[in-house]
Chains A and B, each alone.
Chain A
Amino acid sequence: MSGVMLKTAVYGFVRLAFDFLGGGPSWAGYIVLLAGAVSGLLGVLYAIAEHDLKRLLAYHSVENIGIIYLGLGTSLVFLAHHAPVLAALALIAALLHTFNHALFKSLLFLGAGAISDATHTVDLEELGGLQRRMPITGTTFLIGCCSIVGLPLFNGFISEWLTFRSFLAGSVLTNTKAQIVLPLMVGVLALIGGLAAACFVKVFGVAFLGRSRSAEAEHAVEAPVSMRAGMTMLAAACLLIGILPGILLHPLASLGQVLIPGGGVPEETLIIARVIPWIAAIVLGTGAFAAFLRGRKRMTRTWACGLPELSSRMQYTSTVFSKPIRFVFAWVYRPDRNVGQLPADQPYFPISISYRSVRTTSYEQAMYRPFVDLIVSLAHRLRRLQTGNIQVYLLYIFLALVSLLTFLRFQK
């Protein structure tokens, strides 16, 4: 659903802004850029604080749509400043990211479905150690994680790289505002990327690695063949585009030419298509060399600081993993913290400690709530018209008729 539904908005936006309007004033582009930046940053920050896997992935959709709109906004700015080739570059970046997002987000949601099928939960705090029990799901999920984070050799990187390059190209414009704003967006996208990496280290590390945190995760079994096949195909597509981006960039470049007259084929798309296979070869080559260097392995217990055995409760949890980032960005979350302790009169010998931290800010409250409140209060006032008395309704009809007739009379 996230793979296709979210894209209808992007499709509609592209058709309207590029096809019907053919660009627009530069301030429109800046508004789109701002919306993309806010959506990207808030999306990834909310995602980090989340430990429900499906909600976390949904927040990452918010982030990725933000990245897509960063590309679209850049393209609009370039169009307004009459730089069609660069506009085509930014548009290709946005479209490629749209396509990539459809691939890796579907893959990740399928993985989340497989997890919930096997363990009956999508709460990260209840998972752990799934990679050993569900190797195929784990490996494909890892590929999805690397793709969404935008790591090289995976497809997300290609579109993020193109977006970066289109920001950088903003410096060749003659307009001072564009020269400053567009390159600074590199910092925004880099921050989004860095935080996304932190988030997916958490997701994969807590859900698939280490020790199991619950009995369900302990006894999880691999997903059925049909689910594995779906995930494997999507993962293969992510890798294929990540290593050989040319196969998708050429058709997209011609699409860009259709949407933006005079766009041509941006040279960046050729560069990335040429360099990525080399990098893949070098990384795999040195990796193989490194693997060759290593000899025997021996199983041994993790050092437990002298204690008899480590337990899964000693591992870092999803909440505590994200604590440093939540602490630094506390002004975004404005958390409502609640630490309870039992028994209350013995602070040094607690039997149980409960901790609850809830984010109090949200998009809904800041942006949609005032609007919705306005509509609802208006509706409440209008309800006074509806009395249920048939005579009053007849009066309304009569008044409406009279006002329409007077309106028609005076119109001429």
Chain B
Amino acid sequence: MKITAEILQVLILILGAPLVRGIIARMKALLQRRQGANIWRPYAELFKLLRKEDLVPPTSSAVFRLAPIVLFGATACTTAFVPLVHASALLGSYGDFFLLVYLLALGRFFLSLGALDGGSAFGGMGASREALVSSLAEAPFLLGLVALAISASRTDLAGIVAWTLAQNIFNISVVHILVLTSLAMVALAETGRMPVDNPTTHLELTMIHEGMVLEYSGPSLALIEWAGAIKLHVMLALLIALFCPWGMASTWSGLGITLAVLLYCAKAAALLILLSVIESAVAKLRMYLVPDFLGVASAVSALAVIFTTWVKR
């Protein structure tokens, strides 16, 4: 039963990822008083792209076609670390958050290379900006998770979640509030959402992630889009698991897990509504304000790490 539930978590994270995007798009449309597309639309889009042929620039090398595969493999692997319905994960007891963050970095590294391989200016522009954002986002991400790990005295994500589950909701310390703040900011930057990057833009002045994938088409684009959706879903699930895990199944019974899945869906929906409100309400930051945004996140994370020494006593 344990292994089934853990595989279920991975499947939810991978297969449910396009739905997350669909819900955000629909919510944003509703907030802008548009009809909006069906929430299942991203699946249709993936199938459409997967059936098409792959267009490859003649000047590119094997890296161009390899990049989406590595990106997808590495991103899919991160789903094996995140607890969703139970405080455990497929690689939960060994895999710690350093692995998760660096697997995301592996995918990003190859996607940036693929972007440069296209041979146009846009790929380079996207890769260069992504390099700036991601190099500055890594430190607050890791520091925030380090603060949580120190408070829980555990290093694996599943252990941290299990510790949080055992805590009383009213005993939330200042560390958790600080880390939530910084991780929420980092999650926006990592997944390329507003106000760091606009996922719907195709204007060269503003695009980061879209600039990188401009030369991709067909199945390669499908893999990139799917990986992006998985990354978004993983970040959402991570925030939920770290800061609001209550309601996860404590046993391996079918009923408990079903309830936990339903509860997870409710929590994810609430978070998605919040995200779409934020995306509709804020304007995109100017490119050179993003370092300040991430600088604040880093400072908050560092404070959280410092405060752990007092909270633990």
Contacts and interface: CB of A to CB of B under 8 A. Distances in A.
Given A283-B74, A287-B72, A300 B55 contact: yes
A109 B68 CA distance: 28
A138 B55 CA distance: 23
Interface string A267-285: 0000100110011001111
Given A201-B109, A316-B127, A152 B135 contact: no
A295 B53 contact: yes
A298 B136 contact: no
Interface of B is mostly: helix
A176 B309 contact: yes
Given A152-B102, A279-B77, A282-B80, A321 B128 contact: yes
Nearest to A149: B109
Interface string A197-221: 1101110111011110000000000
Contact of B131 (A183, A197, A279): A197
A44 B166 CA distance: 42
Interface string B33-61: 00000000000000000100111111111
- Contact-size category for B: 35 or more
Given A131-B62, A194-B135, A283-B77, A210 B119 contact: yes
A307 to B, nearest CB: 11
Contacts of B125: 316
Contacts of A40: none
User: Which of B59, B80, B117, B302 has the most chain A CB within a 10 Å cutoff?
Assistant: B59
Interface in A156-177: 157, 161, 164-165, 167-168, 171-172, 176
Interface string A286-324: 110011011111111111100000101011100011111
A327 interface: yes
A302 B129 CA distance: 21
A180 interface: yes
B223 A301 contact: no
Given A205-B116, A321-B127, A187 B91 contact: no
Interface in A120-152: 129, 131-132, 135, 138, 142, 146, 149-152
B9 interface: no
A392 interface: no
B68 A131 contact: no
B223 A197 contact: no
A190 interface: yes
B296 interface: no
Contacts of B95: 275, 279
Contacts of B215: 302-303
B170 interface: no
B113 to A, nearest CB: 5
B223 A293 contact: yes
A304 to B, nearest CB: 7
A182 B59 CA distance: 47
A152 B107 CA distance: 10
A191 interface: yes
A208 B62 CA distance: 11
Interface string B182-208: 000000000000000000000000000
Contact of A299 (B56, B223, B288): B56
Contacts of A279: 77, 91, 95, 99, 103
Contacts of A150: 102
B269 interface: no
B307 to A, nearest CB: 10
Contact of A295 (B113, B124, B219): B219
B274 interface: no
B169 interface: no
A375 to B, nearest CB: 39
B76 interface: yes
A281 to B, nearest CB: 9
Given A179-B309, A320-B128, A274 B94 contact: yes
A326 B108 CA distance: 21
Nearest to B156: A271
Contacts of A161: 98-99, 102
B256 to A, nearest CB: 27
B132 interface: yes
B89 interface: no
Contacts of A186: 142-143, 146, 305
A206 B116 contact: yes
A162 B119 CA distance: 37
Contacts of B219: 293-295
A341 to B, nearest CB: 22
B131 A325 contact: yes
A153 interface: yes
A212 to B, nearest CB: 8
A205 B113 contact: yes
Given A150-B102, A296-B54, 20 more contacts: A131-B61, A131-B117, A184-B305, A187-B142, A187-B302, A194-B134, A194-B139, A201-B113, A201-B131, A209-B116, A279-B91, A279-B95, A283-B73, A290-B73, A294-B54, A295-B219, A298-B55, A299-B57, A316-B128, A328-B132
* Top-7 shortest CB links A-B: A316-B124, A205-B116, A194-B135, A287-B73, A198-B131, A131-B61, A275-B94
